[in-house]
Every structure is written in C-alpha cells, then in structure tokens.
C-alpha cells in the first residue's frame, strides 16, 4: 500500500566524535573538577571569611526576683531625696485645648520649669511642694518636661506626653 521509508544514517568513521558529544563531555569534566575541589578544599577556604553573628532572640518571660524589704526612714534620717512628679495631665492624654494645665508635686521652695513644645513656664513650688502652670501645645504629640531645681544644686526631671487635637469629640 504505502511504501515504508526507513531513515538511515551513515555511521561515523572510527576515531571521529560528534561536536555536541565532545562539548558535553568537556562540560561534565569541568563541573566534576569544580565539585571535587569544593568538597576537598571548601572547608579550609571558609576560615578566611569574616564571622557573621546573627542576633539572638528570646521569647521567654523575664524572671522576677523576690521583693526585698526596704528600710523605713528613722528620726535621724531627715534628708529626703529630691523628686518631681507630674499629677496632671495623665500620660498619653488627649487634649482639646491648646493650653494644658500641668500640675504636680516636688520639694518645697523648689524652682520648677515646665517646658512644652511651644513655650516654657518658670514657677516656684508652694509650701506643700505643689506646683501648677499652663503651657501651649501644638497639634499632634507633645512632650512636656517638668524640671525642679533646689538651692542645693539638686535637679529632678520628669516627662509626660500628651496629644492635642482641635477636633470635637462626641
């Protein structure tokens, strides 16, 4: 019915190799040499590289020690440590007015500087150690720092952050 044609190729003469086979053999030989070299000499080469240390993370809870009792003050221990505290405004408070009343307590007869982002106020603490003053704040986050100075060169500082927004809250 249909004639069948068979494809025949001439065999290569002995000693002559195909160019593709020769190239594949050469590439395989080179790759084999590189892999052998890395296996034999690779560990010795890494000694010359700089050491890289990654940070270590700990996801465990901190260990708390038992509380030790603190000694109470006696009649002979009349000298108190100079401190300043901010009672108002509270930390991260949201204010609707651009003037913020800052009040708190410190040592008696201290000079108190209330520093805001726009201005600062210098006042003197009353006989009970209480102080109060208003500072102007700008829109957004504002850090207010209260610094108390004593005649004996002692200085105490505390900072509180407040947020000012002129928007109406309902």
DSSP 41-60: HHHHHGGGSPP--PPP---S
| pLDDT tens digits, one per residue of 16-72 | 667 888 889 999 999 999 999 888 887 777 777 777 777 776 666 666 666 666 666
In this prediction the pTM is 0.51
97: confidence class by pLDDT, cuts 50, 70, 90: confident
The ranges assigned to domains in the chain are 18-48, 84-164
| pLDDT tens digits, one per residue of 123-145 | 998 888 899 999 999 888 999 99
Topology at the third CATH level for domain 84-164:
Immunoglobulin-like (2.60.40)
| Three-state secondary structure call for residue 76 | coil
Record the tokens describing residue 134, joined without a space: 């208003």
């Amino acid at each position: 019915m249909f004639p069948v044609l068979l494809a025949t190729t001439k065999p290569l003469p002995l000693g002559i190799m195909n160019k593709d086979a020769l190239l594949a053999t050469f590439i395989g030989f080179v790759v084999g040499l590189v892999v052998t070299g890395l296996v034999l000499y690779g560990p010795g080469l890494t000694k010359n590289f700089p050491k890289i240390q990654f940070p270590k993370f700990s996801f465990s809870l901190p260990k708390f020690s038992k509380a030790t009792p603190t000694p109470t003050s006696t009649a002979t221990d009349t000298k108190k440590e100079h401190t300043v505290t901010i009672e108002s405004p509270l930390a991260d408070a949201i204010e609707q007015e651009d003037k913020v009343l800052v009040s708190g307590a410190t040592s008696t007869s201290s000079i108190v500087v209330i520093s805001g982002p726009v201005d600062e106020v210098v006042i003197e603490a009353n006989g009970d150690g209480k102080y109060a003053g208003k500072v102007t704040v700008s829109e957004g986050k504002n850090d207010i720092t209260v610094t108390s100075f004593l005649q004996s060169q002692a200085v105490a500082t505390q900072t509180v952050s407040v947020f000012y927004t002129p928007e109406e809250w309902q």
